[in-house]
Amino acid sequence: MKTNLSALTKRLLKSKIFLKNFICLMVIQSILFSVFSLVIFSQSRSILEKESTASSQYQLEETSQAVDNQLRDMRYIAATLDTNAMVNALFSYRNPESIYDSSFYSTIQEILKSYVNGFPYIDSIYLYSEYSDVILTTTERTSASHFTDTNWLDMLDETEEAFQIFFRAKNNSFPFVLCVMKPLLVNGYHAAIVINLNLELLPQLEEIQSDPYQEIYLISAEEEILYRSRQRELTEPLSLIPELSHFVSQEEAFTLLVNQSSKPYTYSQIPSSLYPWYYVTVTYLLEYASQLSLTRALFVALFCSLFCAVFLLSFLLSMRSVKPIQNLLQLIQNPEETFSSELYNDAEIGYLADQITSYIQKNQDLTQELSLRLNVLNQTKILALQSQINPHFLFNTLNMIHIQESEALGYDHRIPHLTLELSRLMRYAFESTDLVSLKTELQFTKMYVDILKERYGEKLYVAYDIDEEVLSAKVPKLFIQPVIENAVFHGLAEKMDENSSLLITCRKEGSDCIAAVKDNGVGMSEETLRKLREYLKMDSPMKKNIGIKNVATRMSLLYGEAFRTEVESAEGEGSTVTFRFPIMQ
């Protein structure tokens, strides 16, 4: 077999027809398959680029619309304050307390606090009256000459517009804020409602800034940076950020992909529909670069495979083209051999054609499948974006309910206070960070206890014994509240009377913090206490005492073997749940 193959190879190499056909076929098929591979690579790359730019453009459009709407909300708040009777009295009278009562200024400050607490990105709100020479904030009432942050006063003489929006440095230093000001003229004197916004805390901008591969900028038509993360000056030149060299002052939005070899990125720009600036995002496409490298590797592998296939096909086709001549020569040289029609059968040509057609069809199917999967991926991303729920809608609704309750029942009524505390508790629970200081945890725990005391009244007595040395320790959010809830609802509620009490202690012991919740409720039997202790040591979920179990699991994951849970109880005397964990700063 090897001898026959070697002899056949020598005869083929000596044949000029074979060599000529082989070289021609190699060149022609190599060109065709190279073009085919390049087209596939180009299409794949184009799909990746369109996906990246479309995603950046869509996100920027959503962000710009959301930020514009939030600034419109600030203008609505200023307009609402302008229609408030007490605010108008502040602007119109030198001594409005004589018309209302001694709580006049504190009542207005509570209104301002409700807005500041309801919108976390509001840094502060100022009410200014030149007539009475008063600047009123959420925390102080003073004259303009004694107020430290007054660089916005200069804008009152320079504008006649209903609203003035500008960037400024608070107290002439960092932080920089966006000021939404409604200037007024009352009794011939200037007045103003000033809302200062911390753009770092705007949810949409905060979400983009949390992505280490994405940056967002606000740029003026004069080509100055009005806002960016870690801004050093009130306004900065575009030359400070090389990626902003693509900025063009125009009314149309656009997105382009800058395919740098080391760090490709997309540049997206859109003008604000309401304000004199542009929104710009720069998104570094590490995933795009990875996918592009993978596509290149696949292209090289495909090209090498195709080259091998072209070589084989060219060899077979060339051999097929000279085989009849070889058969004739063999017949002349060996006339004694019987003639066989199989020597002149051209079925091999049809077979090779079928193979080439099948190969091309497979590549087309792969291309269509890739395009289909990319379309499905885009649809999935769109559905994921559509399914997102903004918890700030719930917070804003609760704060609006608080304002309406305050106006209907009075600002000293207990119900608006409870609504505001519930809003703060829900915001605390929804915040992304999980570790907080023990001081913060205790503040919100007291809010929760206040709500419980509203239900049980004077029957529930709660005492605190807190060591100040442990207030700075980092703890998981809401790790005390479930224990208090169990103590009240399972321990005290069954025999609630004027002697019911709850003691919350936090003390330092060595390098550990000891946090305990003690009640004088019904307590537990020895059998129930034994089962509870066993359940707390198990990894499987519990059907009862879910709050304590979840807290113990979270603390164990955080502190490891250094965490201990102790439960003590006596039937008819009460229960004590104690957590021991190392102090983390």
At 498-509, the pLDDT tens digits run: 888 999 999 999
pLDDT at 524 over 70: yes
Instruction: Determine the pLDDT at residue 388.
Output: 40
- Range 374-383 contact pairs with CB under 8 angstroms and sequence separation of 24 or more: 374/47, 374/51, 377/51, 378/51, 378/54, 381/55
CA pair distance 58, 61, nearest whole angstrom: 5
For residue 499, the model assigns a pLDDT of: 84
Q: How far apart are CA 398 and CA 396, in angstroms?
A: 5
Torsion of the alpha carbons at 470, 474, 479 and 484, rounded to the nearest 10: 20
Per-residue tokens: 216: 């967002």
Residue 356 predicted with pLDDT over 60: no
57 vs 263: which has the higher pLDDT: 57
Residue 281: band (very low, low, confident or very high) from pLDDT cuts 50, 70, 90: very high
**Predicted local distance difference test score (pLDDT) of residue 377:** 38
Least confident segment among 65-69, 221-225, 378-382, 483-487: 378-382
5-14, 99-108, 172-181, 516-525: the lowest-pLDDT one: 5-14
Would you say 180 and 75 are in contact if contact means Cβ atoms under 8 Å apart?
A: yes
- In this structure, of 327-331, 374-378, 451-455, 464-468, the range with the lowest mean pLDDT score is 374-378
Query: Domain locations in the chain?
Result: 2-46+293-386, 84-192, 211-284, 433-582
Query: Hey, what CATH topology would domain 211-284 get?
Result: Beta-Lactamase (3.30.450)
Q: Which residues pair with 280 in a beta bridge?
A: 217, 269
Q: Is the pLDDT at 378 greater than 50, yes or no? A: no
Q: Mind listing the pLDDT tens digit for each residue in 303-317?
A: 677 667 767 776 666
Q: How far is CA 322 from CA 20, 129, 356, in A?
A: 11, 104, 21
Contact between 208 and 281 under an 8 Å Cβ cutoff? The reply is: yes
Q: Looking at residue 327, what is its pLDDT?
A: 58
* Full DSSP string of 311-359: HHHHHHHHHHHHHHHHHHHHHHH-TTSPP-GGGG--HHHHHHHHHHHHH
User: CATH topology of 84-192 equal to that of 211-284?
Assistant: yes
Average pLDDT over residues 65-85: 92
**Which of the residue ranges 31-35, 323-327, 396-400, 569-573 would you say has the lowest mean pLDDT?**
323-327
CATH topology of domain 433-582: Heat Shock Protein 90 (3.30.565)
CA 332, CA 300: separation in Å to the nearest integer? 47
Give this prediction's pTM: 0.46
Tokens 């058969």: give the residue: 327
**Rg for the chain, CA atoms, rounded:** 38
User: Looking at residue 516, what is its pLDDT?
Assistant: 95
Read off the DSSP letter of residue 267. E
Burial 505-526 (b: 16+ CB within 10 A, else e): bbeeeeebbbbbbbbbbbbbee
Q: Which of 105-114, 214-223, 330-339 has the lowest mean pLDDT?
A: 330-339
Q: What is the largest CA-CA distance in the chain?
A: 136
Residue 548 confidence (pLDDT) above 80: yes
> Which residue did the predictor score with more confidence, 74 or 174?
74
- Read off the pLDDT of each residue in 212-227 and give the average, rounded to a whole number: 90
How many angstroms separate the Cα of 542 from the Cα of each of 251, 329, 491, 580, 584? 60, 90, 19, 22, 29
How, if at all, do strands 435-437 and 214-220 pair?
A: unpaired
282 DSSP β-pair partners: 215, 267
Question: Residue 350: beta bridge partners?
Answer: none
- Find the length of the chain: 585
pLDDT digits (tens, 9 = 90+) for 392-447: 556 666 666 767 677 677 777 677 777 777 777 777 777 656 789 999 999 989 98
> Tokens 């070589």 identify what position?
311
Instruction: Choose which CATH entry (3.40.1010, 3.30.450, 3.40.50, 1.10.287) describes domain 84-192.
Output: 3.30.450
Residue 383 has pLDDT above 50, yes or no: no
Name the nearest CA neighbour of 327 among 311, 345, 309. Answer: 345
Residue 221 confidence (pLDDT) above 60:
yes
Confidence label for 8 from pLDDT (cuts 50, 70 and 90): low
CA 98 and chain centroid, separation: 50
Q: Would the pLDDT of 559 be above 70?
A: yes
Please name the residue that has the structure tokens 């690579």. 41
**pLDDT class of 252 with cuts at 50, 70, 90:** confident
Given a cut of 70, whether residue 581 has pLDDT beyond it is: yes
- The reported pLDDT for the residue numbered 380 is 34
